[in-house]
Amino acid sequence: MSSFDHPDQAKETIIGIGYFCIGMVFEAMMDASAKWISNSYSLPQILFFRASFALIPLAILILISKDDSWKIVGNVKLQLLRAVGMGLVFCSYVVSLRYLSLVEVLSLFLTFPFFVVMVSRIFLKEQVSPSAWVSLIIGFLGALLIINPEFNAIGPVILFPMLAALICAFVLVVTKVLTRTVTALSITVWGSIMLILCSGLLAPFYWSEVAPADILPLVLTGIFGGLAALFITISLRHADLKSIAPFQYTSLIWTTILGIVIWSDYPSYMTWLGVMIIMIAGMMILRLNYGQSTVK
């Protein structure tokens, strides 16, 4: 079966990719905010703030749209499994940021699209063509040109970003299943609520007084994280996992921009070459899928 089984599927996939790319913008902003406070507070406390402040944009959205779909929990076990997975992904990522540079963490986390393709093939039975694998590899090579990784850390800590990538792939599979019965708003809201409950059980035992200068980064980590989760979840209602996986690489583009603005880290010509390769890889997989839409 083609990934485009009816004429509207091509349009739906493009819409899904668009939402996913917006999610990547907010995810990059969340990473930058989390980097500031990664060494200052315990994992349960950071996770508690991340989940709590994520509800702010969601509450505003609910009030504006008057959308009551969030009240429908759906499959409680899957919602809880997704929330726990999200918590593990975030904690693994924060631990990585404590001991590795942002560049090193991102370079290792870029194994995420490969895990997505494998997991979606195993659990969702999505067909993965050799061309799709080629486009993922090309995108990964482009990412390497941008980050130019130099791994100075020795020890098991370098496995944490890859662990986060693997768990994140499973979280997206669970999310994809949930989107079949409940809305993206419901999934995102209940994911945050369950994360608050889980982290809230541990946070009091590891609580530290919050410095005034850290309030804004903590708030932004939650807000950006909530928006990222919402847009990524919406994208899964429109496109399959293998179609959006290559666009995970676009997060590096926004990370590069944030590096210039926040840390005055100006990219080299190799970075711009990598950006072009990433875009070409993304267009390749989109074109391959679109080209198969007429195949019955």
Cα 295 to Cα 6, 7, 10, 184, 292: the distances in Å are 10, 11, 13, 31, 5
Q: Could you tell me how many helices (H) and strands (E) the chain has, helices first?
A: 12, 0
Distance CA(205)–CA(202), nearest Å, equals: 6
- Whole-number pLDDT of residue 244: 81
* Integer-rounded Cα radius of gyration of the chain: 19
- Whole-number pLDDT of residue 106: 73
The domain locations on the chain are 8-291
**Strand, coil or helix: 61:** helix
- Whole-number pLDDT of residue 113: 72
Residue-wise DSSP of 179-208 = TTTS-HHHHHHHHHHHHHHHHHHHGGGG--
pLDDT in tens, the chain (296 residues): 334 344 477 788 888 889 999 999 999 899 889 888 988 899 999 999 999 999 999 999 899 888 888 999 989 999 999 999 999 999 998 888 887 777 667 767 777 777 777 777 777 676 667 777 777 777 777 777 766 655 554 457 777 888 898 898 889 889 988 988 999 899 999 999 999 999 999 999 999 999 999 999 999 999 999 999 999 988 888 887 777 877 877 887 887 788 778 777 776 677 677 777 776 776 676 566 544 443 33
Amino acid at 189: V
Q: Please return the burial class of 131, using the count of CB atoms within 10 Å of its CB with bins 0-12, 13-18 and 19+.
A: middle
Report the alpha-carbon angle 163-164-168, nearest 5. Answer: 120
Query: What is the CB neighbour count within 10 angstroms for residue 148?
Result: 13
Distance CA(197)–CA(219), nearest Å, equals: 18
Cα 21 to Cα 16, 89, 225: the distances in Å are 9, 19, 14
Phi-psi region of 44 (alpha: psi -120 to 50; beta: other; left: phi over 0): alpha
Where would I find the beta strands (DSSP E) of the chain? Answer: none
